[in-house]
Amino acid sequence: MNLPPFYIDRTEVTYGDYKKVDPSLRIPGRTETFPVTDVNWFEADRYCRAIGKRLPTEAEWEKAARGTDGRAYVWGEGFDPQKTNVGKFPMPVGAVPQDKSPYGVLDMGGNVSEWTDSWYQPYPGNKYNSSDYGILHKVVRGGSFNSDRHFADEMFTQVTFRNYNRPDVFGPDNGFRCALSAPPADPPSSNPKDEKRR
């Protein structure tokens, strides 16, 4: 799938960064370098907009995680719990350097699952039918540290796995990262006077 050019943050938004925009959030036991959690989609969207960015679309998130070679996991092929955080506790962002996509984006296989801007809709040509499709749930991507839940299963760390949640819901293992559309490239000039001399 060809996407318009975009930028995406290398790391998940940290608790420290989030508190600069919304100091009211309190997460006991977390330091400022840990990913922010316990925020719903509306709060995540509001944070990204406050700093001049936006939430990534589901397609952008998958592109940033997967690269161009069709890999199943951020690091390549084959599930390896040593290459991502699917333990019992969150870690500071970037603490598992092997959980790095071909574009250098960190923590997309684990640590916290991430909100995207996309509604949970069928992909074009999709034959699977879900009663949850529609303008009701937002797509959540990526695995999570929370081994007390099913997110520790290797299926949930695959870059193609789609999860979803209502936008007004928040969880202790759900965070986000921000993205930004790249500015359009200037078209070539048709005026010879505008060309640089060689």
Is pTM beyond 0.85 here? yes
Long-range contact pairs involving 43-46 (C-beta distance under 8 Å, separation at least 24):
43/170, 44/13, 44/115, 44/175, 44/176, 45/115, 45/117, 46/22
Per the listing, tokens 């520790």 go with: 152
Q: Quick one: 1-183 is in which CATH superfamily?
A: paralog of FGE (formylglycine-generating enzyme) (3.90.1580.10)
Structural domain boundaries of the chain? 1-183
- Mean pLDDT per 10-residue section of the chain, whose length is 198 residues: 91 98 92 96 98 97 93 92 89 96 95 96 84 94 75 76 95 95 72 43
φ/ψ of residue 64, rounded to 5: -65, -30
Give the SS3 label for residue 79: coil
What span, in angstroms and rounded, lies between the C-alpha atoms of 90 and 110? 9
